[in-house]
Structure 1
Amino acid sequence: MRFIPFLLFWLCLKTTTAMAVGEKDSVVHIPFGKNNVIQYHLNSGTWDVLFNGKLVITGAYFTYKGEKEITSTEIGPGKRRAVIESSKYSGGIIEWYHDDMHIKQVFSAEVGKNYFTTRLIVEGKHVAAGYSSPLTGARIVLESTGDNRALAVPFDNDMWARFDAQPIQQANFTSSEVLALYNNVNYQGLVIGSLSHDIWKTGITVKAIDAKSAALTAFGGLADNKITHDNIFHGKVIEDDTICTSPYILVGLYDDWRNGMEEYAAANKGNKAQGIAKWEKPTPIGWNSWGALQTKLTIGKAKDVVDFFSDSCKGFRTADSSLFIDLDSYWDNMVKGGLDGDIRQLKEFVTYCKSKGFKPGIYWAPFVDWGKSDRKMEGSTYSYTQAWTRQNGLPVDMDGALALDPTHPGTKARIAWCLNHFKKLGFEMIKIDFLGHGALESDHFYDPAVTTGMQAYHMGMKFIDSVLDNKMLIYAAISPTMATAHYVHMRRIACDAFSAIDNTEYTLNSTGYGWWQSHLYNFVDADHVVFNKESEGANRARLASALVTGTLITGDNYAEKGPWSKTAMRLLQNKQLLEVIKDGRSFRPVDANTGNKGVNVFIKKVGIKTYVAVFNFTNNPLKYTLSLTRFGLDPSTKLMVTELFSGNNTNWSDTIELTVPPSDAMIYSY
């Protein structure tokens, strides 16, 4: 579903301008979904939402902050211009005329869907604004009592950011792009999120009222040092010099909030055509050098790793019998004098990798300057200093690198020069990193038509895709969560994770609360899986964290023999374990009430088969008592289940009790 074109289409449909309902009290009723309705109070400028006859949202209004701040509660009664009716779509428009400005709040919905979208459009002279909210100051009331949660979603996966499922009565935060309010016992919940990421950074603020309700505002204009890494205000938005449009905000209530998050992801995916061709090949699996080799990467060690998988780990393959062997940062140890210098070793690696039937990969960061000095940009007549992104007049230093303006011709020339070299060398995968540097706000961008960080990011990512021309698997590492999906095939779910059990716990915080991204990207993965010298249990847990995320990239130093080699030969060649990721989808959380910690219990259904994964991140045995109803089954069901690591069979019925050893994991199938 693509909302922007449909809205233009709707205006051509038959409309009715008479108030069919609520004329006496000046209330406009806009129905949507199954027995749901938006009630717009024209006199007060506020609106409520009833889902299935129950009041869930009350007192919402709009806020616009341009040269002046305007709210719908202050500028007097609005009027309904139209309620658009058709067999498939419905919606409504409320409009105002104020100080030479034409203001419209647009509501739209697809018949049969339990969500609607809303946006604010301000037309006139001098209407550029860095803040626009079609949903301000709403009181959200959940019907369910008990374990109600508010989920904070980070803007990106940088600096080991975490999701946080806070008890509603403690909530006081700003979530990035999307927010869920839900009950962990019966799964009922509300999902509110942005469907547009090319212009605005969207925030959803929530502040507790009590254990069942909270105050909420969804707005375009999020720019925060901790959340988005910005030290200046969000750029001002203007289209055609006369229009400022807020983000599209989706609002939906669901019997299962997990369905809502997946539908939100799917709506985002359908709202814009993917910039690259869909990945039609099997789920990617392979190896990445940053897991263990890191700065010690050499041509000899890279070839030894290829030999390990070719000779000693033949069962670890994609469904089309290949592997991705990815050289991460410090692949330049293999070149002398840069990519236009002596690249014979890099060519040798590519040739050797392909001779074994594997696919060579490489790493690059398109929007950063690690050198931080005044020198010529590769493939360009510009210097790096000319292309630096600046905030308050100063270059932006983040993660140890300076940010580059994606709209600058020097940045573009450098991207084209480097990526074309990688293509000519024969690489079939590229891991692109530190992409968030390209989404930073700036005092000004080289392209005067670009005024916001997300516009610049969109331009930069679109250019990368045009240069790569669908010749590689594109894997995003550190990157904005929502805005990256249309430009890459695969995204790392979190930040760097290695072998220790706390790394597994950290990863499963992001997978447990961000699993829905596998409905947004072709694949998400748990970063390089490193076994090292950890216990067997910790190794099982680390591998399981990748399997529940959906793909498998390993990362030990297989150029040398060690306990990790034997672990890899045993675990990575287990056909039943590899079968878990055949569909490339993430598991869902069973319980999502762990705050900012990792989720412990996951479930995934693939056809007639169901997988359940259970984790223990502690140093003591952990006992779980679970009803089959948590898996969507009748408690009278009797199951024969297999634990995949051990191969042991057991029977489940009604209430099951599981004990997971310290720092360990189990995966069951039935």
Structure 2
Amino acid sequence: MRILNPKQEGMKKVTLLLCLLCLLTNTFAKENRKKWKLSHDRQGVTLHCEGEPILKKVTSEFKVGQRLMSTANYGIPTVKKKKINDRFGRGQMITLTYADKTNPTLLQSFRIYDQYVLVDVELKGHGTISTNYIAPVVSHSTGAFIRSGSHRTAFVPFDNDAWIRYHSSQGPVDSLRSYEVTTVYNPISRAGFVIGAINHDVWKNAIDIDTKSSVLTAFSGVADKLTRDHKEHGVVTGTAVKSATFMIGLFSDWRNGMETYGDINALMAPTRAWDKAVPVGWNSWGALAFKVNHENSCEVSQFIADSLQSQSFHNSEGLVYTGLDSGWNSFSDEELTDFARQCKLRNQVPCIYWTPFTDWGKNGDAHVYGSDHLTYKDIWLYANGKPQELDGAYAIDPTHPAVRRMMELTAERFRRYGYKYVKMDFMTHGRMEADRWYNKNISTGTQAYNYGMHLLDSIFSDMYINLSISPIFPAQYAQSRRIACDAWNKIKDTEYTLNALSWGWWIGWVYDYNDADHVVLRDAEEGENRARVTSSVITGIFITGDDFSKSGSADVKQRAMRFLTNPDINRIADGRAFRPLNGDSDSSENIFVRQEQDGSFYLACFNYGSDATTYHVNPYQLGVKDFSECNITELWEHEAVSDLYNMLIPARDVKVFYLKKK
């Protein structure tokens, strides 16, 4: 577990009583072992944790064609139990086998460990079997914990496109669908139930919850508007077909549960190797956008070296990552090489941009880059006979040899110019379902995406990869990923970014780092500048984006020299994400926290509103008896404070505190 504890948003003031109630659970204690038990009768399986039924009447179901089959359609299963000792630890595996002469044999497997249960289903046909939907878990009667009207249920989006937002809903909800994972939790005690898919090689997965009817379904085979699909999920065919594996856990702190979920995913598919410090730097899209050219980009590099890099704006290795975004194709080869050369002379890492799975021209007769005979209509991904458009570009087939050839040529160019970091954008295009793919062994969008991303990973093996617009999973092909959609300079951009951090900070467990997008300072209040910088340093990589060229405004350069050179703030930017304190709001948390290895804490408190507001934190929430035990410093103003009981935060601003025991 890499980070520790944060606070709320929706309620402007939190009473001392509420804070004390929050302390019923030791926020920083390790999760105790949980005793899971499985029982079975004619209505299905019941999963108990510490004697409490969590999921009742659990069946599994699947589709063959349009026919929905359930374990309820079979007779009594045979049950086998065995001890296991695998990558997840020691435990017990219980397999229920449902078989008859006319239907596929269904094996429903439960692997029970100390902290969680892993569940999946395998179908075996008498010949081959084809399906595009398998639900390992269909609970027809959720337990009291999940049904509780005082608990919150989190929505996790499939990707970060179109300014989609995370959220949590309190009380009964009708048909909430969360993608890959969700949590139901008590925002006061912090106890939480977590369920989510842990492998992402074949299926798109989702969890449907209807707390009013007490039904929960965890399934493989989702394809809808929010997965950006225009047709149903692809069909998987074989003599045996297996669902994704889902983790089920009940935790004393839902945040520990989400981080455990991240850990298990990283165990299944380890993060892309990176042994250097977190990227800190600049990207051209924030202000220059398509106006970027050789002259102004080199001037920005020079300004950073002269005015920022020497004043703590760099990572722990003293490096700045200076990047060209979309628009670099207007440079000549000589200009691209010279920009990279100048960056290296200034102890900067040259960065560049590409979109590997898109066709922006949408001209089917145009020749594919690197091919003399193929046109783009040959490599488009079709749905129902039509090319698929998303964000203004057509999706192209990740499995087509022409796409591999474009990757090879592009990587060779970047290597020849001297670039070491690539921002890869609009990746969701490569995971869309389609009528067919060039590779005939591929039948789902997730299989195609893994195929293409594996190529990307291997072809760009010597370069850092940062994903921009992209699905959360699979995560093993890039070092970092944008936690949300585009964000700019205003408090609304900060709030939007922190909405994603509130329920998605754990994504930094499956990537090396999250990315809060470029920090833009122009045309904003000073408090908004502080808030936007802070939102980045507490999220992951720290990238700024203003026009620091000679023609750029003097005001924005002054702002940069003020807000990007605070050594105490910049020291926070080591890539480790902060946690939300409680998760007791519908939209975004206000208070985020991270515990350091020496027991000290960083705490960031944001005010997104138009009026100054007082926020309250109790020392027990941070694992100390009294604030008098700590030296507390506010890092933006470098002021000592006595406690955090009454933190007055100005409108559209932030305060960042460092607490260290005396």
TM-score, scaled to structure 2 = 0.90
Q: Deviations over 1:310-349 (max 9, x none)?
A: 11112211111111001000111213xxxxxxx1111111
CA contact (8 A) 1:146 1:183 kept: no
Q: Which residue is equivalent to 1:522?
A: 512
Q: Which residue is equivalent to 2:227?
A: 228
SS at 1:422's partner residue? helix
Q: Which residue is equivalent to 2:493?
A: 503
Q: Distance in 2 between matches of 1:137 and 1:376?
A: 52
Q: Which residue is equivalent to 2:452?
A: 460
SS at 2:342's partner residue? helix
Shift of 1:616: 0.6
SS at 2:130's partner residue? coil
| Partner of residue 177 from structure 1, selected from 156, 166, 180 | 180
CA contact (8 A) 2:529 2:563 kept: no
Q: Which residue is equivalent to 1:572?
A: 564
Q: Distance in 2 between matches of 1:436 and 1:92?
A: 37
CA contact (8 A) 1:370 1:401 kept: yes
**Structure 2 letter corresponding to 1:448:** K
**Structure 2 letter corresponding to 1:661:** P
**Structure 1 letter corresponding to 2:164:** A
| Partner of residue 56 from structure 1, selected from 38, 54, 57 | 54
SS at 1:197's partner residue? coil
CA contact (8 A) 1:146 1:185 kept: no
Residue 252 (structure 2) pairs with residue 252 (structure 1): no
SS at 1:486's partner residue? coil
Q: Distance in 2 between matches of 1:35 and 1:456?
A: 39
**Structure 2 letter corresponding to 1:308:** F
Residue 68 (structure 2) pairs with residue 69 (structure 1): yes
Matching of residues 248-287 of structure 1 within 5 Å: 248-274=245-271, 276=272, 278-287=273-282
Q: Which residue is equivalent to 1:39?
A: 39
Q: Deviations over 1:547-598 (max 9, x none)?
A: 110221000101124322112112222111111122x111000131221x22
| Partner of residue 136 from structure 1, selected from 138, 147, 166 | 138
Q: Which residue is equivalent to 1:215?
A: 215
CA contact (8 A) 1:474 1:489 kept: yes
CA contact (8 A) 1:147 1:185 kept: no
Q: Which runs of 5+ in 2 are unaligned?
A: 1-31
Residue 476 (structure 2) pairs with residue 473 (structure 1): no
Q: Which residue is equivalent to 1:339?
A: none
Deviates more, 1:76-85 or 1:129-138: 76-85
Shift of 1:613: 0.6
Shift of 1:199: 0.5
CA contact (8 A) 2:155 2:177 kept: yes
| Partner of residue 408 from structure 2, selected from 413, 416, 435 | 416
Shift of 1:636: 7.3
**Structure 2 letter corresponding to 1:51:** C
Residue 187 (structure 2) pairs with residue 192 (structure 1): no
Q: How many positions carry a matched residue from both structures? A: 614
Q: Distance in 2 between matches of 1:491 and 1:581?
A: 16
**Structure 2 letter corresponding to 1:522:** D
CA distance 1:162–1:126, change in 2 (3 Å)? same
Q: Which residue is equivalent to 2:78?
A: 79
Shift of 1:142: 4.4
SS at 2:609's partner residue? coil
Q: Distance in 2 between matches of 1:219 and 1:143?
A: 21
Q: Which residue is equivalent to 1:651?
A: 642
* Percent identity of paired positions between Structure 1 and Structure 2: 32
Q: Which residue is equivalent to 1:122?
A: 123
**Structure 2 letter corresponding to 1:173:** L
Residue 523 (structure 2) pairs with residue 533 (structure 1): yes
Q: Distance in 1 between matches of 2:200 and 2:40?
A: 27
Q: Which residue is equivalent to 2:167?
A: 164
| Partner of residue 366 from structure 1, selected from 349, 356, 374 | 356
Shift of 1:395: 0.2
SS at 2:569's partner residue? helix
Q: CA RMSD in A?
A: 1.7
**Structure 2 letter corresponding to 1:220:** S
Shift of 1:72: 0.8
Q: Deviations over 1:506-533 (max 9, x none)?
A: 0000011100011111011210000002
Q: Which residue is equivalent to 1:289?
A: 284
| Partner of residue 383 from structure 1, selected from 357, 365, 375 | 375
CA contact (8 A) 1:423 1:468 kept: no
| Partner of residue 441 from structure 1, selected from 423, 429, 433 | 433
Q: Which residue is equivalent to 2:27?
A: none
**Structure 2 letter corresponding to 1:332:** N
SS at 1:310's partner residue? helix
CA distance 1:176–1:413, change in 2 (3 Å)? same
CA contact (8 A) 1:142 1:189 kept: no
Shift of 1:186: 0.7
SS at 1:466's partner residue? helix
SS at 1:487's partner residue? coil
Q: Distance in 2 between matches of 1:244 and 1:665?
A: 51
Matching of residues 549-568 of structure 1 within 5 Å: 549-559=539-549, 560-568=552-560
SS at 1:503's partner residue? helix
Q: Distance in 2 between matches of 1:602 and 1:383?
A: 50
Shift of 1:617: 0.7
CA contact (8 A) 2:190 2:582 kept: no
Residue 610 (structure 2) pairs with residue 619 (structure 1): yes
Shift of 1:544: 0.8
Shift of 1:100: 5.2
CA distance 1:637–1:168, change in 2 (3 Å)? farther
Q: Distance in 2 between matches of 1:635 and 1:107?
A: 45
Q: Which residue is equivalent to 1:640?
A: 631
Q: Distance in 2 between matches of 1:283 and 1:467?
A: 22
Q: Which runs of 5+ in 1 are unaligned?
A: 1-31, 336-342
**Structure 1 letter corresponding to 2:658:** S
Q: Which residue is equivalent to 1:6?
A: none
Q: Which residue is equivalent to 1:340?
A: none
CA contact (8 A) 1:326 1:360 kept: yes
CA contact (8 A) 2:404 2:455 kept: yes
SS at 2:481's partner residue? strand
Shift of 1:69: 2.1
Residue 243 (structure 2) pairs with residue 243 (structure 1): no
Q: Which residue is equivalent to 2:300?
A: 305
Q: Deviations over 1:219-270 (max 9, x none)?
A: 0001001x101111100113xx311101101000000000000000010001
Q: Distance in 2 between matches of 1:511 and 1:160?
A: 14
